[in-house]
Amino acid sequence: MAASRELPVWIRAPLPSREYSSVQDLIRRSGLATVCREAHCPNLTECWSRGTATIMLLGESCTRRCSFCAVRTEDRAGKVDTSEPQRVAVAVRDSGLKYVVLTMVARDDLPDHGAEILTETIRQIRSLSPQVGVEMLTSDLGGSHPALEKVLGSRPEVFAHNIETVRRLSPRARDPRASYDRSLGVLRRAKETGPPGLITKSSIMLGLGETHEELQAAMRDLRDAQVDILTLGQYLRPGGQGYLDVERYVPPPEFAALAAEARALGFRGVASGPLVRSSYMAEELYRKAHAPTAAEAI
């Protein structure tokens, strides 16, 4: 049974600030897409007001159709904007950011699934802003090992890929070209073959009908893949037809309890709350995960 369409009192976005307008103007001038706007992220106001944004590469439309995602689906026919990496790098430099999150739409129409654009964007950012930390949130890259290794070769500080939901609900929520096990494999291979010290990260949506036991199993699966950072947030149904209904609005105390469970499993950075998304407080979570543990410091 779907939950009421009326949002609970704990799901509220803050009002914009002056910094929000500055980021908005920079994004508009640069002609860039952001997952903040394209995916209707509830944290857009908060993050832009803090002077941060998640830049979405390879266009504003996706070749896949997932039942939870607001990004539109389109046949891209292999079209790529080769000026995008330079425009992103200039925008990052002009913004004064110290940490940037890059994400992407799925590009199954490209032989390398977009890996070349991702790596060139990171290269351009390193050239213009060598002090900036880079987090790369990718698709599953079609399960291509060469594409993954190309992205890892650009040496992002954080490699992120989202499993999105628990195993049972994955076929219902995600495009048929994605799978729970492929996503775990991407994360596992990134940790095994990526540069030394690479931090890996994933995210799970709540409120789709998952059980507590299924969430625990998903968190254990991620830890078995040596994932360092986990974010947990409430699924919010986009407007329009064809999207999954919200089965339940999870209250903040349950998110807090899940965060404690995740830390006990060994995740080194955890963000858990109704409005948390995969890029929420990204730099802070990276700092936590990158810091040595007490055992490592001895």
Residue 131 has pLDDT above 70, yes or no: yes
> What is the rounded end-to-end Cα distance, in angstroms, of the chain?
52
CA 231 to chain centre: 9
Residue 130 has pLDDT above 80, yes or no: yes
- pLDDT for the residue 76: 83
Residue 25 has pLDDT above 70, yes or no: no
- Host H or E run for residue 25: helix 18-30
Q: Which two tokens stand for residue 10?
A: 């704990």
Sign of the CA dihedral 205, 14, 104, 157?
A: negative
Least confident of 17-21, 221-225, 273-277: 17-21
Mean confidence (pLDDT) of the chain: 86
Name the CATH superfamily, with its identifier, for domain 18-297.
Answer: Aldolase class I (3.20.20.70)
DSSP letter, residue 190 = H
Residue with tokens 């055992």: 295
Query: Taking the domains of the chain in order of start, what are their residue ranges?
Result: 18-297
Report the distance separating Cα 246 and Cα 68, nearest Å. 10
pLDDT tens for each residue of 191-203: 999 999 999 999 9
Report the distance separating Cα 131 and Cα 248, nearest Å. 42
Mean pLDDT is highest, among 20-29, 46-55, 272-281, for 272-281
65 within 8 A of 73, measured Cβ to Cβ: yes
Closest CA to 269 of 241, 232, 225: 232
> The pTM is what?
0.87
